[in-house]
Chains A and B, each alone.
Chain A
Amino acid sequence: MATAVGSGPAQFTDRLLAPAWTPSRVWWVLFGVSGAGTLVLAGAVAYTVATGIGVWGNNIPVAWAYAIINFVWWIGIGHAGTFISAFLLLFHQRWRSSINRVAEAMTLFALVNAGLFPLLHLGRPWFFYWLIPYPTRMGVWPQFKSALPWDAAAVATYFTVSLLFWYLGLVPDLAAARDRAPGRTRRRIYGVFALGWRGAGRQWHQYRVAYLVLAGLAAPLVISVHSIVSLDFAISQLPGWHSTIFPPYFVAGAIYSGFAMVLLLLIPLRRAFRLEDLITERHLDNMAKLLLAMAWMLIYSYVVETFMAWYSGNAYERYTYLVERPLGPYAWIFWGMLTANVVVPQLFWWRRLRVSPPVLFAASLLILAGMWTERFIIIVTSLNRDFLPSSWHFYAPTWVDWSILFGSVAFFFLLFFLFLRFVPMVAISELKQQRHEASAAAAAVAAP
Chain B
Amino acid sequence: MSNDRHWWRDLDELLDTPDFREALGREFPAGAAELADGMTRRSFVRLLGASIALAGVGGCFERPRERILPYVSEPPESTPGLARHYATSMTLGGYATGLLVESHAGRPTKIEGNPDHPASLGAAGVYEQASILQLYDPERARAPRLGRGKSSWSDVGALLSPARLGPLVGARGAGLGLLLEPSASPLSSEMLGRVREGYPEAGVHFYSPLGSRASDRAALTAFGRALLPQYDFRSADVVLSLDADFLAGVPFSLRYARDFADRRRIAAPTDEMNRLYVIEPGLSVTGGTADHRLRVRAGEVESLAGAVLAEVTRRVNAPGTRGGQGIPGDVASVISGLEPPPGHREWITALARDLDAHPGRTIVIAGERQPPRVHVLAHLLNAALGNVGRTVRYIESPLLEAGAPSHELAPLVEAMRGGAVRALLVLDGNPAYTAPADLEFAAALRRVPTSIYHGLYENETARACGAFVPSLHYLESWADGRAWDGTASLVQPLVAPLYGGKTDAELLAALIGDSEAGAHELLQELWRGHMAGTDFANAWDEALQRGVIAGSAASETTPAWRWGAIGTELAGTRARADTSLELVLDQDPSVYDGRFANNVWLQELPDPVTKLTWGNAALLSPATAARLQVATGDVVELAYHGRTLRVPAFLLPGHAVDSVSLRLGYGRGAGDEAVADGVGANAYRLLTGGMAHFGGGLAVSPALGDDGAPLRERLATTQTHWRLEGRPVALRAALDDYRRNPAFAEPERGRVLSLYEPGTGSGDQWAMVIDLATCTGCSACVVACQAENNIPVVGKEGVLDGREMHWLRIDRYFEGSVEDPAVLMQPMLCQHCEKAPCEYVCPVSATLHSPDGLNEMVYNRCIGTRFCSNNCPYKVRRFNWFDYNAEVAETERMAKNPDVTVRGRGVMEKCTFCVQRIREAQIAAGIEGAATGEVRTACQQACPARAITFGSLNDPESELVRRRAEPRRYAVLHELGTVPRVQYLAAITNPNPELPRGDGGG
Query: Which A residues lie at the B interface, using CB under 8 A?
Result: 51-54, 57-64, 121-125, 127-128, 130-131, 140-143, 145-149, 152, 232, 235-238, 241, 315-316, 319, 383, 385-395
Contact = CB atoms under 8 A, between A and B. Distances in A.
A411 B864 CA distance: 26
A236 B725 contact: no
Contact of A131 (B722, B844, B877): B844
A123 B880 contact: yes
Contact of B870 (A63, A140, A319, A393): A63
B906 A61 contact: no
B875 A388 contact: yes
B875 A391 contact: yes
Nearest to A150: B843
Nearest to B730: A390
A142 B883 CA distance: 25
B873 interface: yes
Interface stretch (B40-48, B376-384, B834-842, B914-922): B834-842
Interface string B262-303: 000000000000000000000000000000000000000000
Most B CB within 10 A of own CB, among A124, A315, A391: A391
A53 B837 contact: no
Nearest to A56: B881
Contact of A146 (B841, B866, B880, B972): B841
Nearest to A59: B802
A63 B723 CA distance: 23
Contacts of B843: 130-131, 142-143, 146-149, 152
Contact of B720 (A54, A64, A241, A394): A394
A64 B864 CA distance: 11
Most B CB within 10 A of own CB, among A232, A237, A390: A390
Contacts of A64: 866-867, 870
B988 to A, nearest CB: 21
Chain B interface main SS type: loop
A388 B811 contact: yes
Nearest to B611: A390
Given A54-B803, A143-B845, A315-B725, 6 more contacts: A143-B840, A145-B841, A147-B843, A386-B875, A387-B875, A392-B720
A393 B845 CA distance: 28
B869 A124 contact: no
B870 A236 contact: yes
Contact of A52 (B841, B873, B906): B906
A238 B837 CA distance: 10
Contacts of A146: 840-843, 867
A122 B871 contact: no
A378 to B, nearest CB: 12
A123 B862 contact: yes
Interface in B535-566: none
A387 B874 contact: yes
Contact of A142 (B844, B973, B976): B844
Nearest to B905: A52
B871 A60 contact: no
B875 A60 contact: yes
Nearest to B797: A54
A123 B870 contact: no
B907 interface: yes
A128 B861 contact: no
Given A52-B905, A60-B877, A124-B862, A389 B723 contact: yes
Nearest to A242: B871
A387 to B, nearest CB: 4
B712 to A, nearest CB: 15
B410 to A, nearest CB: 46
B976 A52 contact: no
30 contacts: A51-B882, A52-B906, A54-B801, A58-B866, A59-B802, A59-B803, A60-B879, A63-B869, A121-B865, A123-B880, A123-B906, A124-B864, A128-B863, A142-B843, A143-B844, A143-B845, A145-B841, A146-B841, A148-B843, A237-B873, A315-B726, A316-B727, A383-B870, A387-B874, A387-B976, A390-B809, A390-B812, A391-B875, A394-B720, A394-B802
Interface string B736-757: 0000000000000000000000
Interface in B820-877: 826, 828, 837, 840-845, 861-867, 869-871, 873-875, 877
B875 A236 contact: no
B550 to A, nearest CB: 45
A323 B874 CA distance: 20
A125 B973 CA distance: 34
Contact of A386 (B840, B845, B873, B907): B873
Contacts of A386: 873, 875
A235 B841 contact: yes
Nearest to B722: A389
Contact of B801 (A57, A131, A145): A57
A124 B871 contact: no
A54 B792 CA distance: 14
Given A123-B862, A124-B862, A236-B870, A389 B906 contact: no
A285 B972 CA distance: 55
Nearest to B906: A123
A321 to B, nearest CB: 15
B870 A124 contact: no
A62 B881 CA distance: 13
Nearest to B863: A127
B811 A236 contact: no
B882 A63 contact: no
A389 B844 contact: no
Contacts of A122: 863-865, 906
Contact of B729 (A127, A141, A238, A388): A388
B332 to A, nearest CB: 51
B641 interface: no
Nearest to B975: A314
Contact of A60 (B727, B802, B865, B973): B802
Contact of B881 (A52, A61, A390): A52
Nearest to A382: B870
Contacts of A54: 801, 803, 881-882
A388 B723 CA distance: 10
B801 A59 contact: yes
Which 7 pairs between the two chains have the least Cβ-Cβ distance? A123-B864, A123-B906, A54-B881, A59-B802, A148-B843, A391-B875, A390-B811
B878 interface: yes
A157 to B, nearest CB: 17
B802 A393 contact: yes
A393 B874 contact: no
Most B CB within 10 A of own CB, among A53, A60, A236: A60
A57 B797 CA distance: 11
A59 B875 CA distance: 11
B747 to A, nearest CB: 14
Contacts of A147: 841, 843
B721 A58 contact: no
A340 B826 CA distance: 43
A123 B720 contact: no
Contacts of B828: 388, 390
Interface string B875-903: 10111111100000000000000000000
A433 B882 CA distance: 58
B676 interface: no
B724 interface: yes
Nearest to A241: B870
B908 interface: yes
A148 B729 contact: no
Contact of B905 (A124, A131, A391): A124
B189 interface: no
Contacts of B905: 52, 123-124
B802 A61 contact: yes
B954 to A, nearest CB: 28
A389 B727 contact: yes
Contacts of A62: 802
A315 B875 CA distance: 18
B527 interface: no
Contacts of B863: 122-125, 127-128, 130-131
A140 B862 CA distance: 13
